[in-house]
Amino acid sequence: MNASEDKLAPAVRSILATARERSGGAERLDVDARSFPAAVEATEAAGRVPVVAEVKPTSPTTEGERTDDPVDLAREMVAGGATALSVLTEPEHFGGSAENLRRIRGAVDVPVLRKDFVVREAQLDAVESDLILLIARFLDEQGTDSLATLYEAARERGFQPLVEVHTREELDRALEVGAEIIGVNNRDLGKLEVDLDTFERLAPHVPEDVTLLAESGVTSVADVRRMRAAGADALLIGTAIMDGDVEANTERLTTADAERASRAAETSDAETDAGPTSSESTDAKRGRAESTDTTPRNTDTNQ
């Protein structure tokens, strides 16, 4: 169903091969998850950009390694306004661990995503988190469980599954299993190249009642605004935050919409009776938590 494994970048093939052999937890988990959609809504209500800041000591696509205590990094991200955190638990290629996730989740009060290559149901039970990443490209393949199986198993345990997609076919599969949180990865795992057009192509096909994230390649305030204009409810950002002053970088990216939000707030009362302007209607579509609309999102870029 997915692209064949030989089309993956060598580093990704190695990660996937290791993931297939990784064991799971000793007992089935029962997670009391912090709501990610509610956190996104609260962040937007406060006039900030919802950012999932990633605690990523290293990766195959970056140079060097951060040796800071992961808990200290996480606290700096939250202090900078992060809506949620993403914590790598893959040890060999990303320098992550389940223990890092446990410590971070115990130290903050925002939702925490476990970012790893989970390919079998037993691996869901390795460690508690609020969200768990399911990469559509790696599932429904030999040696892995199906996306539908893992999605339902994750929900039964209390996790909020974040289904990651890169193509229209993967997006359709995510929607077929009922995914409520979807991330569009701008990075092609075959070539490890990043193209923000990927999100812009797929976003119009995502229903309004889905919480939609843009992942990879967001390095600047301009990129944040571009992805928001294309329909991103939140952005997952790693390197641009980890490279330098973590708290300052997080604050810079989470306040990218602050000026526009302030202007909208100042004029909202005067324009209530007249109906929303095009800019305000785009902002309104991001009030996601109570939406039941399944029509495609409006991605007007003339805002």
Whether the Cβ atoms of residue 277 and residue 206 lie closer than 8 Å to each other:
no
Whether the Cβ atoms of residue 271 and residue 277 lie closer than 8 Å to each other:
yes
271 is known as an active-site residue: no
129 is known as an active-site residue: no
Find residue 161's DSSP bridge partners: 132
14 is known as an active-site residue: no
**Per this entry, what is the length of the chain?**
303
> CB under 8 Å to 272, separation ≥6 — which residues?
none
Name the active-site residue from 41, 59, 115, 129: 115
Q: DSSP assignment of 71-106, as one string?
A: HHHHHHHHHTT-SEEEEE--HHHH---HHHHHHHHH
From residue 134, alpha-carbon distances to 102, 124, 163, 164, 247 in Å are 19, 10, 5, 6, 28
Find residue 160's DSSP bridge partners: 131
One-letter identity of residue 71: V
215 is known as an active-site residue: yes
CA distance linking residue 62 with residue 206, whole number of Å: 30
CA distance linking residue 104 with residue 232, whole number of Å: 26
185 is known as an active-site residue: yes
Counting Cα atoms < 13 Å in the Cβ hemisphere of 263 gives 7
Structure tokens at 234: 């939140």
Name the active-site residue from 90, 128, 215, 247: 215
262 is known as an active-site residue: no
Name the active-site residue from 41, 44, 90, 164: 164
Name the active-site residue from 170, 216, 247, 251: 216
> CB under 8 Å to 115, separation ≥6 — which residues?
54, 86, 87, 88, 89, 90, 96, 133
291 is known as an active-site residue: no
Name the active-site residue from 185, 186, 200, 247: 185
CA distance linking residue 252 with residue 250, whole number of Å: 5
Which residues form the catalytic set?
Answer: 54, 56, 115, 164, 185, 215-216
